[in-house]
Amino acid sequence: MDEKTVFIQSVKAVIKHRQSIWQFISNKLLGEKREIAFFGAAGAGKTVLLDYLSGIAYKQGYQPPGTSQRAEKTKEKIPKDSSHNIPKRRLSCIVIPGDESTPRFETTDDLLDKHHGVFGIVHVVCNGFTAIRQEDAKRILINNLKTIQDFRDYQKQEELKDLDLTCNFVKESIRKYNQPKWMIIALTKVDLYYDALETNIVVYSPLFQKSEFSIKLNELQNSVGKANFRLELVPVCSWLEDFKWNQEVASSQVNQITRNDFIEKLSDKIKSYC
């Protein structure tokens, strides 16, 4: 075989495998990429939580955003851990819109059809303390849900429906791409029930097998295989504020130092999984 033929075949091989070659070079130079999706119902606090994890929320003048109408992305680099010989990673995080609407379905369809799934999922729940940003919707709910407890009981049922959507995505993604490899249940807004945190944790924990939420988690893990899919709960809080409903108030009970400690623990858990 002459040199010209060898050269042409080499060029063809590079063109054919250019995507995998570029991925190899990119990983070597920048670190291997890990994409994480933040799921959860509208008003659970997904975007605000991600803003704290990425550091955006610590900037002066930060204010929580409104309801996400489209997927939001951010990036974070995890440095190489020389003590354990762990290579650096690149985290790409995407917030899935919470409303059962076109933006949500388009985003999840894109992850399943035009992508390669996601490496991990952070599913955000807020123990029924859902933020209702539209005043008209709030007035309608107040007519039927007079107290904070009434409101929370209703929203916890909505959390169960939302969990079903996330579980369906996980099953389909694992079937197609053999990932995500893990899911963290981020039990957020713990500042509003810090005095009863342990009581509320068991309701959302996969280790507790008596609540409707934990039963759904165990069913998910059993269906995809415990050996290939890790599942864990991490309590956290982000933006600290009282929760007001129909002239009733649930007070925020923690300070910024405690909040930052919660954020750091969740961040460390995500990075350890990546």
**pLDDT at residue 100, rounded to an integer:** 66
Examine the domain organization and report whether 75 and 161 are in the same domain. Answer: yes
Examine the domain organization and report whether 134 and 252 are in the same domain. Answer: yes
Examine the domain organization and report whether 8 and 62 are in the same domain. Answer: no
Angle ∠(233,164,95) on CA atoms, nearest 5: 65
Strand, helix or coil at 132?
coil
Examine the domain organization and report whether 24 and 69 are in the same domain. Answer: no
- For 208-233, the pLDDT digits (tens) are 878 999 999 999 999 999 888 999 99
Sequence-distant (6+) residues with CB within 8 A of 201 are: 187, 233, 235
Examine the domain organization and report whether 21 and 37 are in the same domain. Answer: no
Examine the domain organization and report whether 255 and 265 are in the same domain. Answer: yes
Examine the domain organization and report whether 185 and 72 are in the same domain. Answer: yes
Examine the domain organization and report whether 188 and 84 are in the same domain. Answer: yes
H-type alpha helices, 178-211: 197-204
Write the burial class of residue 69 (CB in 10 Å: 0-12 exposed, 13-18 middle, 19+ buried).
exposed
Candidates 231, 237, 232; CA nearest to 259 is 237
- For 91-104, the pLDDT digits (tens) are 788 898 876 666 77
For the chain, the distance separating the N- and C-terminal CA atoms, rounded to the nearest angstrom, is 46
Q: Are 248 and 198 in contact (CB under 8 A)?
A: no
**pLDDT at residue 226, rounded to an integer:** 86
**pLDDT at residue 113, rounded to an integer:** 81
pLDDT confidence of 133, banded at 50, 70, 90?
A: confident
Does the bond joining 79 to the residue before it have cis omega, within 30 degrees of 0? no
**What number of other Cβ atoms are within 10 A of residue 100's Cβ?**
12
- Across 45-69, average pLDDT: 87
Which residues, listed in sequence order, are joined to residue 209 by a DSSP beta bridge? Answer: none
Number of domains comprising the chain: 2
Candidates 157, 74, 82, 88; CA nearest to 122 is 74
Examine the domain organization and report whether 167 and 106 are in the same domain. Answer: yes
Q: What's 181's domain CATH number?
A: 3.40.50.300
Q: Is 0.95 surpassed by the pTM of this model?
A: no
Q: Are 266 and 186 in contact (CB under 8 A)?
A: yes
Examine the domain organization and report whether 199 and 259 are in the same domain. Answer: yes
Torsion of CA 160, 161, 164, 166, to 10 degrees: -90
Examine the domain organization and report whether 153 and 23 are in the same domain. Answer: no
Specify the residue for token string 């415990």. Answer: 226
Residue 16: give the domain boundaries.
Answer: 1-30
Examine the domain organization and report whether 139 and 226 are in the same domain. Answer: yes
